[in-house]
Amino acid sequence: MDASSQPAQGAPQAAVDAWRLLGTRPAKVFAMHIGYRARAAQKGRTPEAPGYFLKPATSLSTGGELVAPAGTEIFGFEGEIAIIIGSAARAVSEADAWGHVAHVTASNDLGVFDLRWVDKGSNIRSKGGDGFTPIGPKLLDATRLDPAAIEVRTWLDGELVQADSTSTLIFSLAQIVSDLSQLVTLEPGDVILTGTPANASTLSPGQTVEVEVTATATDGEQLSTGRLASTVRVGEQQLPPYSAQPKPTPEQWADASGRPIAEFQTAAEPVLDDDLREQLSSIALATLSSALRKRGLNNVSIDGLRSTQPGKRIVGTARTLRYVPNREDLFKSHGGGYNAQKRLFDDLHAGDVVVIEARGDNRSGTLGDILALRARHLGAAGIITDGGVRDLDVVTEIGVPTYHGGGHPAVLGRLHVPWSFDETVACGGATVQPGDVIVADGDGVLVIPPALVRELVAECIEAERAEDYIAQQMDAGERLDGLFPMDAEWRAKYEASQARAERA
C-alpha cells in the first residue's frame, strides 16, 4: 500500500486488512441490486438497466466476525463475485471494459435488514457498516479468465445454498464495467459487487457463511479464491434515540430470507371464527350497513359490481392486490415472472377474499380461469375486482363467487401492472385494508373494520329480532305509526315478548 493510499487515522482494522489485500484503499465500492436471471425470477422483477448502490470503503473486510448493533436480529447474506478495477476507465466500450479489470474475488454483501426501512435503496445503514463487505481471501488474475465463465458458490454451515455462473447474468461483467464508466470514472482498486444468485437468505449468530469463486483459466488451470468465511455477532453498541432503530418486521424478514411473508407474521386469533362467520352469513347486508352508519361509517361499500354467483353470499377476510396503470417499462420489470399477482394467489388461505384495485377500469382482464382455480383450491371465499374478468364463463363455472366490472378478453398487460399486495387499496369507491371483513350478496359488498365485527354482529342480531317482531305485527294488521320505528309503548311490548320467549 503506497503512501497515497495509507488508511486514515483510526480506520477499522478489518478495512485496513481488505485494503492491504487490494494493494490500495479503493475510492469507491459499488454493488448491484439484481444481477442474475434466477434472482430476478425469484424477486418477480427484471431490471431494464443495471442498478447499483454505493458502499463505503470502510465496509470492506477480509471476513471473520461482523459485529451488529444491539437489538438487531435480521442478518442477510448474499454470496457474490467482486471485480477489482486495475486501470482508470471513463466512458469505455463494452469491448474494452474487461481490459480495465485487474482481479476477480469472492464477496459477501452482508446486511442488517432491521435497519433497511429508513434508507432502502441506498442501503447505507443496512449494508454500509464496518465489515459488511467481506472480500477474498485470494485475488484471481482477470487476464487469465473468461468473464462469461466464472462461478460462485455459497455455503451456510457447510450446506451449499447458492450456486451460479456469470453465464446467466442479465448484464455481463463487461457491460457492468462499461455502464458504470459512462458517468463515473472508475479508478484502480475500485470494487464492484456484481449481484447475488438466487436463494440469498439469512444467518443467525453463530452460523458461518462461506463464499468461493472459481474459474478455469485460459491455460486450463483450475483457479479458486478459497472460501471467504463470515459470522455475525450482536454487539453492545446501543443506537442513540435520534438514529433509526431496528425494526424486525415480517416484510424485512421475508425480503432478507426469500421466504413467504406469512411465515413471519404473528399467528393471531382469527377475527372470523366459525361462529362469527355463521352469524355474519345470516344477517342482512342492509342491517349491517345501518349499524355501520350509526358509527359514522358511510363509505364502506364497494359499488358498481356484479356477481358470477347471484344469491351466493361471501363472508371472509380481505387480501388485497393493487394494479397501477400500464407503463411498458414497468410491466417489463413487474409484470412477468413471479409477480405480485401470482405471489398473492399462491399465498391464499381458507376464507380469504381477494380484493383487487384496478381503478374501476374494466377494459382488460384482472384475473382469469387459472387464478380462479388456484383460489378455489386454496379455499378462498371470494374475489372482488373493480376491473374486468377474463374467461368469465369459465370463472363462473369454477364457482368462487367473483364480483367484477364485466367480462373482457384482453390480458392484464393491456392496462394494468401488478404492483403490490397486502397493502391498503381502493376498490369500487371504498378503501380496503388487509384483514378487513368482507360481506357480500345481492345487495352489494360491505367492508367492515375487524375491530368492530363482534359488537356489530351482536347489535345486528338484536336489530333483526326487533324487525322480525315488527313484521309479525304488520302481518297481524297493526298500523305503521308508532310500530316502525317502535315508540316507547311498542318497545315495552317487544321487550316483554322477548322475556316470555327466554323463559319458555
Annotated binding site: 368-371, 390-391
Alpha carbons 335 and 340: distance in angstroms, whole number: 8
Say if residues 224 and 138 touch (Cβ distance below 8 Å): yes
User: Within 32-71, where are the H helices?
Assistant: 37-43
Q: Which amino acid is at 440?
A: A
Q: Looking at residue 245, what DSSP letter applies?
A: P
Pairing of strands 306-307, 402-404: antiparallel
CA distance 270 to 281: 17
Q: Is 11 exposed, middle or buried (0-12, 13-18, 19+ CB in 10 A)?
A: middle
Distance CA 66, CA 128 (A): 12
d(CA 175, CA 97): 7
Report the binding-site residues for Mg(2+).
Answer: 391
CB count within 10 Å of CB 235 equals 13
Q: Which residues are CB-neighbours of 114 under 8 A, at least 6 positions away? A: 71, 72, 73, 74, 126, 246, 247, 248, 252
Rounded to whole angstroms, the Cα distance separating 328 from 348 reads 28
In terms of Cβ atoms closer than 10 Å to its own Cβ (0-12, 13-18, 19+), residue 316 is buried
Distance of CA 54 to the CA centre of its chain: 23
Give CA–CA dist 504/496, Å, rounded.
12
Binding residues for substrate: 368-371, 390
Neighbours of 351 (CB within 10 A): 17
Q: Are 71 and 364 in contact (CB under 8 A)?
A: no
Residue 12: burial class (beta carbons within 10 Å; 0-12, 13-18, 19+): middle
